[in-house]
Structure 1
Amino acid sequence: MGHDLVPSRQRKNAKSMRRVMTDAELKLWNELRAHRLMDLSFRRQVPIGPYIVDFACPTHGLVVEVDGSQHADAEHTERDRIRSAYLESSGWTILRFWNDDVIRDIDNVCQHIVIVAGADVS
């Protein structure tokens, strides 16, 4: 999962998205940044193919998405399914959490990320 060439427009979009994170994304980022979560290395708003994912841990092939309520409607659900299929076919494992889960239960969200990443918790 090396670096791909990223079109400048997509790189610009990712950069601007880093400046306007939702409360849930910011809360999770504060747990993930600077190797704080079991020394896992995450990046935020990462371009992968035609998509920009919320958080990616390239060394473990893990993408973490934080979804708001709009993702529950049929149109978003289908787009998310297509997006996940693309990312999975590119070798990524996708985890999706609702904003509310991140805000109310950050410890369990982080625990689930650690388990899926296979990080050594002993």
Structure 2
Amino acid sequence: MYKQRIIDNFIADFYCHSARLVIELDGSQHYTNQGKAHDAAKTEILERYGIYVLRFSNKDIDENFDGVCRMIDRVINERIESLS
């Protein structure tokens, strides 16, 4: 798992190469019109590379950290299995 990984013209918050998975942690700036447009463009580019993007709001992490961790673990395992 890499933190702050550059992919194309974007910086992914976290990148798991073996699962071809980017994990994005979205603060309030991601919910503005400009933030939403940037995130949509970023997701589109990453998906062209075969990378799945998983997003969590800061609120999700604050209120349900264990659940977020379980989901990340589940998605990583599913992606690794499907890519094998």
Point out where structure 1 has 5 or more consecutive residues left out of the alignment: 1-41
- Give the 3-state SS of the residue equivalent to 1:77 in structure 2: helix
Give the aligned CA root-mean-square deviation in angstroms: 1.0
More strand by share: 2
- The correspondence for 1:92, drawn from 43, 51, 58, is 51
Larger radius of gyration: 1
Query: Highest relative contact order (Cα 8 Å, sep 6+), 1 or 2?
Result: 2
Percent of residue pairs identical: 36
Shift of residue 118, structure 1, vs aligned partner: 2.2
Q: Give the alignment partner of residue 66 of structure 1, picking from 25, 28, 37.
A: 25
Q: How many residues align?
A: 78
- CA distance in 1 between counterparts of 2:13 and 2:29 reads 16
Are 1:103 and 2:62 matched, yes or no? yes
Could you list the runs of 5+ residues in structure 2 that have no partner in the other structure?
Answer: 79-84
Residue 3 of structure 2 corresponds to residue 54 of structure 1:
no
How does 1:16-31 map onto structure 2 within 5 Å? none
Structure 2 length-normalised TM: 0.87
